Structure formats: C-alpha cells, structure tokens
Structure 1
Amino acid sequence: MCLGVPGEIVEIDDHEAVADFWGVERRVRLDVVGDAVDVGDYILNHAGFAIRKIPEQEVEETIAIYESLFGDDAEEALDEIGAPRGADIDLGGEQAAVEPEGGDDD
C-alpha cells in the first residue's frame, strides 16, 4: 500500500515546491495537484507529487491522524517521506533521530 503524506509548502518555484514534512524538507512537483497552492498551504504528497491540497479546515485533523498512525515509529515515517536515514524528524512535537541502516553493532 502506498501512503500520501501531508506537508507544508515552504517555497514555490514554478511547478516545483519545497514542502516540510515534520522537519524534513523535500522537493515536490505541483503539476497534478489541481488547485492553486501558496506558501503555507498543506498538500498531500505521493511519490514526489502534490496530489491534493488539504483544505485549511482539515489540516489540523489530518496532521493529528498521521501523527497517531506513526506514533513513535520515526523509522516508518522517514520511509514514507523518503528521508535519508540518520535524519531528525519532529513527530508530535518531539524530535526523533533515526539511525542509518547497518549502523553500529555495539
């Protein structure tokens, strides 16, 4: 199953944007979103494409749902947004560091 992940648009350059996903910034394409997107808007990202603009009245609930799904499993959240291993992300207000695969065996 594939999962779209919500993120906040922090920068727009033509048909590309930078979105913040719990402290991890990723470039996303805006070609298929279907709505005008501005800095500060939230989108649902799938495979590097903003597939839906999240209506302002749904943002808080959407973020809460995703945070409850990920819980404390930062590794799963990083996998879903394609963040590099070893990155720090913010899940529910707490920073979570995820170690690179194949790390220390100590």
Structure 2
Amino acid sequence: MCLGIPGKVESLEGNTAKVLFGDTLRKVSLDLLSEEVTPGDYVIVHAGFALERIDEREALITLEILKEAAGLETPR
C-alpha cells in the first residue's frame, strides 16, 4: 500500500511545482499528472510525484485524518 499526502501548490517551474506540506516546501514532479494545476491547488504526492489534483475540502479532511492516525498507538 502506498500513502499519498496532500500538499498545496505554491509555485510552478516548468514540469515541477513547489508544494507546501505543513510548513515544509518541497519540489515535486508533475510528470504523472494528467491535468493542469495552478498555484493554490492541492495535489496528492507520493515519492516526489504529484499523482492527482484534489479539491481543498478533500485535502483538509485527509490531512486531519492523517493527523489523528499519527496519534494512534499500534497494538502489541
């Protein structure tokens, strides 16, 4: 299973974007995206590649779920 993380596109540079994850800005490849993105859009990112554009509401819900899951302990 792969985990894609939502991030907000801050700027575009050719076929890459600077994407904000919390307070961390990362360079992300847009090579696998079939749709155009613009600054302000949210994308799902895995292994440095944007895989899909998603709406802001979906991104924020997903981020909240990931924060909650990070606080859970694994069973022993």
**TM-score where L is the length of structure 2:** 0.81
Provide, for residues 65-97 of structure 1, a one-character-per-residue CA deviation record: whole Å limited to 9, x for no partner: 12212239xxxxxxxxxxxxxxxxxxxxxxxxx
Which contiguous aligned blocks of 4+ residues in structure 1 show a shift greater than 4 angstroms? none
Which of the pair is proportionally richer in strand? 2
Aligned residue type for 1:71? G
Equivalences, count: 72
Extract unaligned runs of 5+ from structure 1. 73-106
SS at match of 2:32: coil
Shift of 1:17: 0.4
- Number of the residue aligned with 2:63: 63
Larger radius of gyration: 1
**TM-score where L is the length of structure 1:** 0.61
Aligned residue type for 1:64? E
Alignment partners' CA distance in 1, 2:53 and 2:3: 15
Extract unaligned runs of 5+ from structure 2. none
- Number of the residue aligned with 1:30: 30
Identity rate of aligned residues, in percent?
Answer: 38
Aligned residue type for 2:13? D
Aligned residue type for 1:34? S
1:39 aligns with 2:2: no
Range with greater deviation from structure 2 (20-29 or 53-62): 53-62
Taking CA–CA contacts closer than 8 Å with sequence separation of 6 or more, which of the two structures ends up with the larger relative contact order? 2
